[in-house]
Each structure stands twice: as structure tokens, then as C-alpha cells.
Amino acid sequence: MMRFVAHGLGDRGVPPSRIHVSLERNVQCAVGHCGHCQLAPLFICRDGPVFTWERVRTLLGVREL
């Protein structure tokens, strides 16, 4: 849902650097050691959980199997 809302805001002229999304993952260690909350190079517990759309839009565009 966040992906569609972010695209809608972009269509209305909001720059990607001004759109923020909150990525929630099940965090176990909360310091980035276990890798449970890893999303590509980012650790949600350590680097987030709030990111700019500019930073994560390519990561959220990849479908998981």
C-alpha cells in the first residue's frame, strides 16, 4: 500500500525526498546482528524504521517469491 501511495504523491508533484515511509519488520536483536529485519543493504532496526521514498523505492519495487 505504501508503494501505491508514494507513487500517487509523486504523480501530484511531491519530490521523493519529501515522502517518508515506515517499514515495519519483526525485529529480534534490535541492533542489526541477526539479520532478521534486513532489507537488501538496510537493517530496519538499525537504520530505520522511517526512510525517505528516495532511499527505498528501488528496494520496494522488487517482488519477493
Structural domain boundaries enclosing 38 = 2-60
Dist CA 29 CA 31 (whole Å): 6
Given a cut of 90, whether residue 12 has pLDDT beyond it is yes
pTM, whole model, 2 decimals? 0.74
Distance CA 11, CA 6 (A): 9
Q: Which residues share a beta bridge with 52?
A: 20
Q: Over 60: is that where the pLDDT of 31 sits?
A: yes
Domain assignment present for residue 10? The answer is: yes
Instruction: Give the pLDDT mean for 28-55.
Output: 85
Taking only the tens place, the pLDDT of each residue in 54-64 is 988 888 776 66
CA distance 40 to 1: 20
- Mean per-residue pLDDT over the chain, rounded: 84
- Residue 65 domain flag: no
Whether a cis peptide bond, with omega within 30° of 0, leads into 16 is no
Residue type, 54: E
pLDDT score, position 28: 80
Let me know if residue 8 belongs to a domain: yes
In a domain? residue 39: yes
